[in-house]
Amino acid sequence: MPIDPPSSGSPGSPNRGEVRTVPTWSPTVARHNGFVHHVDDPDLGDVVVGQDQIRARIAELGAQIGADYADDPPLLVCVLKGAFIFLADLARAIHLPIEVDFMAVSSYGASTRSSGVVRIVKDLDIELAGRHVILVEDIVDSGLTLTYLRRNLAAREPASLEVCALFVRQGNQKTQEELRYVGFEIPPAFVLGYGLDVGERFRNLPYVCEYRGAG
């Protein structure tokens, strides 16, 4: 029996069954698909890590975590806001019954430099005592945020505490934090996309690129 092509819905009906796949992101593809995006923004520079590279690396990280924690499925602690997209993809790449929780910290304000002052804006809901915890971070720059968070979470007496950072900026660390899982080491430039922002903009770019604006 022939299968009808997916319908794009009719007025008044929910838009179900529509399949729209977007291949690797580029300004041309974005325009072709009718997305209104930041593609022509002069603040955006060269792509540093592409969408396919990110996807492939997260699959590897997920497999590694899956193997390392096979007997003790971890609790992933996502540091908002920057790590929200990474957490969503990483969680699905780990084939174990994990749990997730979220905390929000603020360290930069709207600037591109760390103030070194970390503020917990939202704390966790789940108790960490006795849990195997993986702190999921977007990017480690000076390392000051991570040092603060690690100390804060360690005080809650988890059974173990490791860090998974998608990006580490080379040569900027002011503290020596042990990072069990790292996605990519990236050059010194400030970057945007895949959760990373400047003044709350650009988080929804599906790749990571340099920031050319003032900051």
Contact residues toward ligand IMP (CB under 6 A) are 82, 107-108, 114, 137-146, 190-192, 196-197
Instruction: Give the residue with the Cβ less far from ligand IMP, 53 or 142.
Output: 142
Q: Which of these, 190, 187, 188, lies nearest to 199 by C-alpha position?
A: 190
Write out the E strands in the chain.
44-49, 75-80, 99-106, 119-122, 132-140, 160-169, 181-186, 191-192, 208-211
Exposed, middle or buried by CB within 10 Å (0-12, 13-18, 19+), for 80?
middle
Minimum distance of ligand IMP from residue 68's CB (angstroms)? 23
Instruction: Give the residue with the Cβ less far from ligand IMP, 27 or 215.
Output: 215
Name residue 85's amino acid. I
Please tell me which residue in 4, 72, 138, 141 is annotated as part of the active site.
Answer: 141
Minimum distance of Mg ion from residue 107's CB (angstroms)? 7
Instruction: Give the residue with the Cβ less far from ligand IMP, 69 or 184.
Output: 184
Q: Which of these, 118, 75, 124, 77, lies nearest to 97 by C-alpha position?
A: 75
Q: Name which of Mg ion, ligand IMP, none residue 138 binds, using a CB cut-off of 5 to 8 Å depending on partner kind.
A: ligand IMP
Q: Name which of Mg ion, ligand IMP, none residue 30 binds, using a CB cut-off of 5 to 8 Å depending on partner kind.
A: none
What order of strands is seen across the sheet that includes strand 99-106? 119-122, 99-106, 75-80, 132-140, 160-169, 181-186
Sequence-ordered alpha helix ranges (H) in the chain: 27-32, 51-68, 84-93, 144-154
Relative orientation angle of helices 84-93 and 51-68, to the nearest 10 degrees: 60
Q: Which residue is nearest to Mg ion (CB)?
A: 82
Q: Name which of ligand IMP, Mg ion, none residue 90 binds, using a CB cut-off of 5 to 8 Å depending on partner kind.
A: none
What order of strands is seen across the sheet that includes strand 191-192? 44-49, 208-211, 191-192
Q: Name which of ligand IMP, Mg ion, none residue 153 binds, using a CB cut-off of 5 to 8 Å depending on partner kind.
A: none
Q: Name which of Mg ion, ligand IMP, none residue 107 binds, using a CB cut-off of 5 to 8 Å depending on partner kind.
A: ligand IMP
Q: How many residues bind Mg ion (CB under 5 A)?
A: 1
Q: Per CB under 5 A, which of residues 64..103 are in contact with Mg ion?
A: 82
Maximum C-alpha span of the chain: 65
Instruction: Give the residue with the Cβ less far from ligand IMP, 69 or 190.
Output: 190
Instruction: Give the residue with the Cβ less far from ligand IMP, 30 or 208.
Output: 208
Is 141 considered catalytic here?
yes
Point out which residues bind Mg ion (CB under 5 A): 82
Task: Show which residues are catalytic.
Answer: 141
